Structure 1
Amino acid sequence: MNDARFERMGKGKGFIAALDQSGGSTPGALKRYGIAEDRYSTDEEMFDLVHAMRERIVVSPSFTGEHILGSILFEKTMDRTFAGVPAGDYLWEQKSILPILKVDKGLREEADGVRLMKPIADLDGLLVRAKAAGMFATKMRSVIQAAGPAGIVANVAQQFDIGRRIAATGLVPILEPEIDIHSPDKAECERILLEELLRKLDEGGFEAPLMFKLTPPEVDDFYRPVIEHPAVLRVVALSGGYSREDANKILARNHGLIASFSRALTEGLAESMSAEEFDQTLLDSIRSIYDASIT
């Protein structure tokens, strides 16, 4: 992996566009875009429709490396094309946007206040494919719902264990132990999580720098020790169900933290829009997220 890509992600101005809705979240994404469930009857038809939405976003003149550092792709998207070009190649070569692959396969049922990741079948094979497809990094999500130390320790341990396997291939692992924004003890979850992240980071043993995707904290700049840790390339924030306006306000108060928004990025976009309306709405969204990310 060349230094230019590390330099861009580590020091560039901008944010990450998350276009990685998987099977469970795709119907909701399509509905917000104006495509009802009666428009498709199979998973394949559903994924064709969401790919068309993603392709419209990615090929838009508003979607460029001027504001966007990277874009997270679903596995099926990595295997497809944008404008006739393999997805990863199109993003990097045409847009100067680093392609990132979502590798997790969903969540287990809640236990000890957390939802760990389901097993990732043939992770090694997936990582080989990711490198061949030009991916820069990977992303995997688990969820923290309550401030139980045992659950949070297990959640972080799973993220780091798989992250080490990913880093060994030269891909940059983005660890995402998301804290549910509706957790009644969110601040305590954050305290335990920060302590555990720093403990695991200080253990070292990674062959590539790490990134983290975290829920915006209750206390501004709370994750600054992670952002400044020498083993960390970048820390990004998920929108977590906040509106784009609210997510941007919180993000702007957290210095050095940049966005990795999905729902907040596509908020307001509709299939029925003209090209001009679509591109302008997308540009307004991108600019507002970019402005909040460069504080």
Structure 2
Amino acid sequence: MSKEKQTEQMTNGGGFVAALDQSGGSTPKALALYGVEADAYNGEAEMFDQIHAMRTRIIKSDAFTGARVVGAILFEMTMDRDVDGVPTAQYLWDSCGVVPFLKIDKGLADEANGVQLMKPIDGLDTLLEKAVSKGIFGTKMRSVINQASSKGIKANVAQQFELAGDILAHGLMPIVEPEININMEDKSDAEDMLRDAILASLDMVPEGQQVMLKLTLPEAANQYKALVDHPKVMRVVALSGGYNRDEANRRLSENSGMIASFSRALTEGLSAQQSEAEFDATLDASVGSIHAASVAG
């Protein structure tokens, strides 16, 4: 029953997806922005304890519920940990009404043809089986586009959809994320190429199956409307990609049918030094603004 409810929420729910999936490479920066400097922890294990404490504080806040946050993306180590003695994914759904997703990629390969593909994901089937056993609804995998290279973008999208097929075979919902670098000079050209490459790949998705898409906020409003409206797309979510929250919200509100899946823009302004009241008020304002931009279209 929960799978049906989760599918309904991800298809039609009015809200956004929280990206709580910082991995080893991005965790020190996320902690520093949160007011936890490198000298506050000793080694990787303590660093991950600190980031889990931050995520737990967010998840347990009264501001973080399915009324405005329809889903959340977790790092594998977060999935493997508990919140108040309950496995994180189970806590998200049972206590918050938030649909849990899992980041599965293992980082980026070196750039070729203007893009960075994903590194091989060793043990993918085992990871996906574990995700199913933990109550995960879907997965997320990120690759990057740095230039408007038709050859590179087609290869990037092909890799994403090949993996999406494996994920669907395990009964999970793939979030396909070919991120476009916001600092590209030819960003709008790359967005045209990306839209067309995704449309071509969607034609090969079996009837009756769907994927989700996570895309950089575009230069032209409703650039991805054909993807939003596509019957094989459950939802199109937007990554903030380095835009601050106000700019990300402004761009998002111009794109009908897209909802947010923000990370840094979500946690902007949160601090380990805040009192619980200050923290909750800051998070509530952040969630409120991102929710408003997500439902504006």
With the shorter chain as reference, the TM-score category is over 0.9
Pairs within 5 Å for 1:56-75: 56-75=57-76
Provide the secondary structure at the position in 2 that maps to 1:175.
strand
4+ runs deviating over 6 angstroms: none
Shift in Å, 1:29: 0.1
**Separation in 2 of the partners of 1:35 and 1:206?**
48
Shift of 1:3: 1.9
Q: Give 1:9 shift.
A: 0.4
Partner of 1:54: 55
Counterpart residue number, 2:174 = 173
Deviation at 1:14, TM superposition (A): 0.3
Kindly provide the CA deviation profile for residues 197-245 of structure 1, in whole angstroms up to 9, marking residues without a partner as x. Answer: 0011012237741000000111100100001110010000000000000
Q: SS of the counterpart of 1:203?
A: coil
Partner of 1:260: 261
Q: Does 1:130 align with 2:131?
A: yes
Aligned equivalent of 1:82: 83
Is the contact made by 1:179 and 1:215 (CA closer than 8 Å) also made in structure 2? yes
Tell me the matched-pair count.
295
SS of residue matched to 2:70: strand
Could you say what secondary structure the match of 2:28 adopts?
Answer: helix
| Cα separation, 2, equivalents of 1:50 and 1:151 | 34
Q: Assess, with a 3 A threshold, how the Cα gap between structure 1 residues 119 and 54 changes in structure 2: closer, same or farther.
A: same
> Take 1:122 and 1:223, find their aligned partners in 2: how far apart are those partners?
33
Q: Secondary structure at the match of 1:177?
A: strand
**Between 34-43 and 215-224, the greater mean CA deviation after superposition:** 34-43
Contact kept, 8 Å, 2:3 with 2:137, in 1: the verdict is: no
Distance in 2, matches of 1:134 and 1:195, equals: 34
* TM alignment of 1:150-161, pairs within 5 A: 150-161=151-162
Do the aligned partners of 1:34 and 1:270 also contact (CA within 8 Å) in 2?
Answer: yes
Point out where structure 2 has 5 or more consecutive residues left out of the alignment. Answer: none
Contact 1:170 1:208 survives alignment (8 Å): no
Higher mean C-alpha deviation, range 20-29 or range 2-11: 2-11
Shift of the 206–88 alpha-carbon distance from structure 1 to 2, 3 Å rule, reads farther
Tell me the equivalent position of 1:270: 271
Unaligned runs of 5+ in 1: none
Q: TM-score, normalised by structure 1?
A: 0.99
In structure 2, how many angstroms separate the alpha carbons of the residues matched to 1:208 and 1:199?
Answer: 15
**1:2 is paired with a residue of what secondary structure?**
helix
Stretch of structure 1 that moved more, 198-207 or 257-266: 198-207
Q: Is the 8 A contact 1:59 1:83 kept in 2?
A: no
Q: Which amino acid aligns with 1:136?
A: F
Cα contact 1:78–1:88 (8 A) shared by 2: yes
1:247 aligns with 2:278: no
SS at match of 2:102: strand
Equivalent position of 1:5 in the other structure: 6
User: 8 Å contact 1:171–1:208 — kept in the other structure?
Assistant: no
Question: Aligned letter for 1:210?
Answer: V
8 Å Cα contact 2:79/2:88 also seen in 1: yes
Alignment correspondent of 1:236: 237
TM norm structure 2: 0.98
AA paired with 1:288?
S
Q: Is this contact kept in 2: 1:167–1:207, CA < 8 A?
A: no
Note the alpha carbon deviations across 1:233-286, whole angstroms, 9 max, x for none.
Answer: 000000000000000000000010000000000000000000000000000000
**Letter in structure 1 aligned against 2:188:** A
Secondary structure at 1:261's aligned position in 2? Answer: coil
Q: AA paired with 2:217?
A: P
Query: What's the Cα RMSD here?
Result: 0.9
Aligned residue type for 2:135:
G
Cα pair 1:209 1:231 within 8 Å, conserved? yes
Paired amino acid for 1:270 = S
Partner SS state of residue 101, structure 2: strand
* 1:281 aligned partner, one-letter code: T
Counterpart-to-counterpart distance in 1, 2:100 and 2:246: 26
CA contact (8 A) 1:34 1:272 kept: yes
Which residue identity lines up with residue 168 of structure 2 in the other structure?
Answer: A
What's 1:35 paired with?
36
SS in 1 for 2:261: strand
Question: In the aligned structure 2, how far is the partner of 1:204 from the partner of 1:9?
Answer: 19
